[in-house]
Amino acid sequence: MVGFVDALGCRLTVDISFGKDEYAWMPLSSSISKRRNLSEGDPELLDAAGVTEDSLTRIAHAAGFAEAGMVGLPHAETERDAARFAAFIEQGRAGSMAYLARRSGEDGGGELLRSRVQIPFPWARSVVVCLASYHAEAPLSMDAAGSGAGWIARYAWSGRKEQGRKEQGRKDQNGSVRPSDYHKVLLKRLRGLEAAMHAAYGEFECRAYVDTGPVVERSIARAAGLGWTGKNTCLIHPKLGSWNFLGVLVTSLAVGEETERLAVPDRCGSCRRCLDACPTGALVEPYQMDATRCISYLTIEHRGAIGEELMGGMGRQVFGCDICQDVCPWNRKAPIGVDEDSDLGPRRELINPELDWLAGLKEADFERLFNGSPVRRAGFAGLRRNVAIAMGNSGLSRYVPWLRGWASGVDLPGDAGAGEEAMRTAARWALSQIAEKGEPSNRRE
């Protein structure tokens, strides 16, 4: 939202093949110790102030998070999760995201770094996982929209509020809300949480990450009791749904053996809405995703040409995809988590953006609009490629001039590089689709 981009999101999921587990949802009551000597092999663990679920949650709420949980390492499902992550990599389902396959050792021939938290962090004794909602009061991608509307994943809509300014505080000189990077927003909150924990529990080693560290956040979040892994491979919180960011603090605080861990049972039941709705078949079976077929991966992480067998299923998605979350019944009950005054509040111009507007952006416009935004991850050339595909799927003839120009190399980004052929390929495919479909007679308005 790993959320790659942000997960990973659906924010890209790298998750593996989580099966259904039967656990009771139990209260977490933990006693924490701090490790004074972090040298490997030192067994000395000294008592620190007692930590309960309530005390940790209060500190996390004060830092700006909706929910938090803590799990000791290694947790009960560590080996299972490690094996499933390894299988995900070995099956080639991570696509071109080579960073997911990084290994330990000077020669890179050791274990997969992300398979177990204690491989990159041998001193780690626990992980605090924090959840922040990005669910805004706005339409879903499956709702009716204008015939020329594209879709940007809702996690990427965020804009920031500048301190000390009121009504215009979140707007730039052109009147648009300034983009905010959820990585930075949540990292700042994590730093606040870390400082509060040091004040409450003493000194300990700590590392903070928001989609950037060698940690599979969702599997750790599940172990920490923040939800279950859904059939769409997203973490589903029983009250907050799946439209949530995850941040982690890897710590040297040791969770005592007497700790009762919170676990949430799988509540997907017989539901198949996400699997049936995925237009590219990325959800190959319940709890398993092939990222190379995921629209989020294709529109954000993938830099080359997209296969014709996938472009038709991408619909109007130009950055990321929300379909498998839009259809999830648990998200119908999810409360609104951000508003216009939040640092993660929605930029209204990014909700159902017109393809004409996106196509008309110059590189300078792209930088102004998306510098500091998750959308910048796709790059100017990548966004153009995605817009071309959405144009083809619309069937609207008014896009033909744009597409002909791109297909012939006119107005391509100066630094497109390998993306130039991907852009041409997408434009040629889109032209063929418009010629085949003609002007659609039943447009969504």
Q: Is the dihedral of CA 200, 201, 205, 208 positive or negative?
A: negative
% of the chain beyond a pLDDT of 90: 64
Residue 171: its pLDDT value, please?
Answer: 56
Give the residue-averaged pLDDT of 114-140: 94
Confidence of residue 287 (pLDDT cuts 50, 70, 90): very high
Residue 232: its pLDDT value, please?
Answer: 97
Confirm if 275 and 231 have CB atoms less than 8 A apart. yes
Sequence-distant (≥ 6) Cβ neighbours of residue 189 within 8 angstroms: 63, 64, 65, 130, 132, 247
Confirm if 104 and 110 have CB atoms less than 8 A apart. yes
The residue that leads in pLDDT, 191 or 339, is 191
Spatial separation of the C-alpha atoms in residues 288 and 284, rounded to whole Å: 6
Give the residue-averaged pLDDT of 41-57: 55
Average predicted confidence (pLDDT) for the chain:
83
Confirm if 138 and 147 have CB atoms less than 8 A apart. no
Residue 202: its pLDDT value, please?
Answer: 87
Residue 392: its pLDDT value, please?
Answer: 97
pLDDT at 365 over 80: yes
The residue that leads in pLDDT, 157 or 163, is 157
The residue that leads in pLDDT, 221 or 50, is 221
Which whole-number Å values give the CA distances from 316 to 79, 230, 386, 410, in the listed order?
39, 25, 9, 23
Q: In this predicted structure, which of 176-180, 198-202, 392-396 has the lowest mean pLDDT?
A: 176-180
Give the residue-averaged pLDDT of 1-25: 35
Residue 33: its pLDDT value, please?
Answer: 32
Please write the tens of the pLDDT for every residue from 211-270: 889 999 999 999 999 999 999 999 999 999 999 999 999 999 987 654 445 689 999 999
Q: Cα torsion at 391, 319, 302, 178 (round to 10°)?
A: 130
The residue that leads in pLDDT, 17 or 135, is 135
Confidence of residue 415 (pLDDT cuts 50, 70, 90): low
The residue that leads in pLDDT, 413 or 406, is 406
Strands 51-52 and 151-152 come out as unpaired
Please write the tens of the pLDDT for every residue from 328-346: 999 998 999 998 788 899 9
pLDDT at 52 over 90: no
Q: In this predicted structure, which of 135-149, 150-164, 281-295, 324-338 has the lowest mean pLDDT?
A: 150-164
Spatial separation of the C-alpha atoms in residues 66 and 255, rounded to whole Å: 22
Residue 414: its pLDDT value, please?
Answer: 55
Sequence-distant (≥ 6) Cβ neighbours of residue 73 within 8 angstroms: 117, 118, 124, 125, 126, 127
Residue 31: its pLDDT value, please?
Answer: 30
Please write the tens of the pLDDT for every residue from 295-312: 999 999 999 999 999 999
Residue type, 59: I
The residue that leads in pLDDT, 49 or 145, is 145
Residue 39: its pLDDT value, please?
Answer: 34
Sequence-distant (≥ 6) Cβ neighbours of residue 405 within 8 angstroms: 411
Residue 30: its pLDDT value, please?
Answer: 31
Residue 19: its pLDDT value, please?
Answer: 36
- Per DSSP, what are the bridge partners of residue 70? 128
Could you list the active site residues? Answer: 211
Spatial separation of the C-alpha atoms in residues 313 and 309, rounded to whole Å: 8
- Per DSSP, what are the bridge partners of residue 52? 29
Spatial separation of the C-alpha atoms in residues 191 and 63, rounded to whole Å: 9
Confirm if 296 and 9 have CB atoms less than 8 A apart. yes
Sequence-distant (≥ 6) Cβ neighbours of residue 131 within 8 angstroms: 65, 66, 67, 68, 221, 226, 237, 240, 244, 245, 246
pLDDT at 40 over 80: no
State both tokens at 164: 């000390």
Spatial separation of the C-alpha atoms in residues 347 and 171, rounded to whole Å: 10
Place of tokens 């040091």: 198
Please write the tens of the pLDDT for every residue from 162-190: 554 444 344 555 555 688 899 999 999 99
Give the residue-averaged pLDDT of 195-212: 92
% of the chain beyond a pLDDT of 70: 80
Confirm if 352 and 145 have CB atoms less than 8 A apart. yes
Residue 54: its pLDDT value, please?
Answer: 79
Confirm if 238 and 227 have CB atoms less than 8 A apart. yes
